[in-house]
Structure 1
């Protein structure tokens, strides 16, 4: 209602302006200009009109003033009504009871409640396995069992390898200086040799794909795959893989194809026909003409971790450099890899594939020593150490010369009189 009061001065100003305007019009029309005459003629009608207008304006002003008084009265009544309602509300509404003061919870406890996550129960079936330390949390129970089984067999994540594309992109890890180096176009052709032993099939396929995709076609002459007496019956033979190379040599240790030593290698007829069609050479020809310095290792009859069944510990090569093997919890990685040859030599920690290198044999030093030794085989023979062992799977491991056994006593690997401790090697190639 106060809005009308604010507009009142504006309205009065407009009325006064209207009076001046009308006055000017009537005054102007009341003058008569007669042929240069300056005589002013006064019209009685103009005077009467101005008097009537003044009376009307005075009346209008009185009305506005009366309206303003009425407006003030209504505003006062409205304010009194609001005050009465406020007092009535205070009488009806009961007083607000003051709640007991609540102690503020320490900030540290509040943050602890908000930030402490609910610990989820682990769904890993093999929480102590190195394979699942930083991988495999989203696998189902069956997938975890399959992945762990493959890991135990190969020593690396074959489960994941089998699911990666064969032509996956890989980073260029060459030295920066190599990237700046230029090569002539008329380079000689090359042959690539892949020697494998019980390797995962996807690993071999990916290696072949990488060789073919990343080697200029004019340089790649041949790819030679050498199955170094695998016991798992895995073969890689695909004509599509070899189409880019001019020739392929796919060879295995002779005994694997000519004699089936209890290993189910499946139907290899197609593979034999492929070898014949591609005119693949024999392994004997390969050793004599291509790689004469390679030790065929054709008398290796067992390999892998050598586990003591009575203590559940394995033979380990121990600190390197060093000449003392030890007993250690079984993990079946490189330091625990053993190779047993039919002549009785037992290698630990790896095997050399060239004739000019020497493997390290576990030896009974003799002279009442109870600590076994680990020496180059030729060196041990020259020092007349006992490097030949009699062993049958699941039975004792006895030295041929000293007739003493390799055993574990108080978590220590020792040479002592045989007490009947049993040993088991991880993989058998052929009976011995």
Structure 2
């Protein structure tokens, strides 16, 4: 009873290792686990006794997938049916972003019919006719939903007991709140569940989401763990009121490509346009991690493009921080982020607040580097094929290396201050202390010793090495210049 379909669903000849490479997790094991397998209840003890009203908004659950293993999808569906009150669960909407796996076509349709025979009208599927990416898949699911509230999730999840009631109760209290559950982790190899601590979600200037410690005020209220924790980016799965607040401000930016940035865009739009985002500790969802993402090896390409799109619409003068984080020239970055005119019109129509308001009132932990005037790779004019590099880690000795412009060569946290001190991120401070640096085409001198950062021939390990020596007139250039950006009063 409850066993998932076995390996006959997969192309013949695929061994467990092949399946792992294809999916990024242990499909061989998943196919042999019960669809209705029990998982540990990771809620706080007080959450387990908390009571919620019977009369709550109805719920549509959207499951997004692309070439997902069949047993994973069926286990997600089964967990939602078994652990969501039937009078609240109106429908489960599957969104297939143009999968190529044969079992996700006719066989999946058969499985949907089987579920609907037991639960009439509960399941429906939306199939894209071309690969459109995560953002558009979420939009498609949202548009196909008909309940009061929509929960949009990856298909590789298992909801935990009591997950829906705290979400629906909070949204009933405040229609402008977008909610996220706490996501526990399912290991890709053995499918064991690891409880994750409650944390706040933030982002960096590259617009990657990251976990942050909970604010102190939350700990003062731990007697009621249903208290929401503010978020700054909507995590990959999201929930929110259907045709209420999201109907007013829009769901996601359909101009986003594939993956990345759409969560931060939604977070900024919600906060700046009159709402808020919370995570509810009493709502728990188990999320299956992948060892690798087989369908897109380099997410940074789409992420970089989408980040610029977000910056141009929502971040005003602070948008330059995003260019800085991605090591792109502020003018003519060479990235086509698409037409954002309609998004700017939406912001104007909604009369949304400025990003300056957001960073000062909502997310003060996101610190702008307002004195940045140069950033990127650093080269000596004697040889512009080599760049200053971080060198071996651990260690404290920078080196010269063939230019590749990856993170070890990019002065990501380095900037020239108003006092013309060059602060370098990869241990050059051990060479320089505080150096005098006159922007581009100039020497780099230690103000105390009056010696310069220069390069000399080194036949032992590489053609050149870095030294501090009596100045001979060598010149340095940093890749990008910000001109007078650091003087703008709006960013002080």
TM-score > 0.5, shorter chain as reference: no
More strand by share: 2
More helix by share: 1
Instruction: Compute the TM-score of the two structures, normalised by the length of structure 1.
Output: 0.39
Higher gyration radius (CA): 1
Higher relative contact order (CA 8 A, sep 6+): 2
Instruction: Compute the TM-score of the two structures, normalised by the length of structure 2.
Output: 0.35
